[in-house]
Amino acid sequence: MEEKKKRIYVAGHRGMVGSAIVRALNVRGYADIVTRTHAELDLTNQAQVADFFASERIDEVYLAAAKVGGIHANATYPAEFIYQNLMIETNVIHQAWKTGINKLLFLGSSCIYPRLATQPMAENALLTGPLEPTNEPYAIAKIAGIKLCESYNRQYGTDYRSVMPTNLYGPGDNYHPENSHVIPALIRRFHEAKHASSKEVVIWGTGTPKREFLYVDDMADASVYVMELEREAYDLHTRPMQSHINVGTGEDITIRELAEAVKETVGFMGALVFDADKPDGAPRKLMDVSNLAGMGWTAKTSLMSGLKRTYEHFQNPDSTNSSE
């Protein structure tokens, strides 16, 4: 394989998405990948970020660093979610421009769209209605990231792109009992219930909301694909003030169906109980991925295959079942 010479900084390389992007870059022959842990570089610290970019001679940036969490975490720490994400985005994007970096990919989230957006959610649904209250601070920060990229492109001629993934899962996810997203939370709950021989597992909400899920290595593949596109091809499917691209599978399932799929994957034999007193979140979140399909990319990993790989990794974090 020919080694590609670009010097690439992946911000957030220890996270689920960032680590998958590093894997995807390695597979494509990119060898000069720059990473920093939080202890080495605090991306909310303007001076540290400025010093880093001034000294590292970066060619391209993948901005995957973020403070993330599920409904409980977003509701409990709203100030931290909006402050830390705004600071990370502002510092990295501004210093990338200031040091002459022309290419950057910003990773956002499907929560940027209105709570009751028409389904499936197309890119032009952005800023057309109120956001889901349970994660509004995080969503506002991600919208700001998109607009930062667009504003620097319009004023300075940079090529800063944004991709908006649907709900992601896979190796490297956060399995915290309270602050995790739905798939890792379910995997942990079913795994612990199986080993405790529990008779039932309680699931938050009614089980009726529908969600779309994308395996993280597919997201990383899409990210590098979008970054490598010629600018003319990217511009053909975007506009200067609506330049983000949805990334997903284009298919969704109910939380009940998801719980049944995780239960099967883990091998839990007990019953499912739904706690309707707990919040459901948005009723449906399905991405319109026709723009990305028009660019030539579609998801490859089925949900059951992705869940199987994810559970294997949960049991053995050092495994290599996901091209690690």
Rounded to the nearest 5°, which phi and psi values hold at 288? Answer: -85, 110
Catalytic hit among 113, 138, 169, 215 = 138
Distance CA(228)–CA(223), nearest Å, equals 9
116: helix, strand or coil: coil
Residue keyed to tokens 């869940």: 307
Q: Which residues of 188-215 are buried (b: 16+ CB within 10 A; e: fewer)?
A: bbbbebbeeebeebebbbbbebbbbbbb
Classify residue 19 as exposed, middle or buried by CB count within 10 Å of its CB (0-12, 13-18, 19+): buried
Has 138 been annotated as catalytic?
yes
State how far the Cα of 248 lies from the Cα of 288, in Å rounded to an integer. Answer: 8
Task: Report the catalytic residues.
Answer: 138
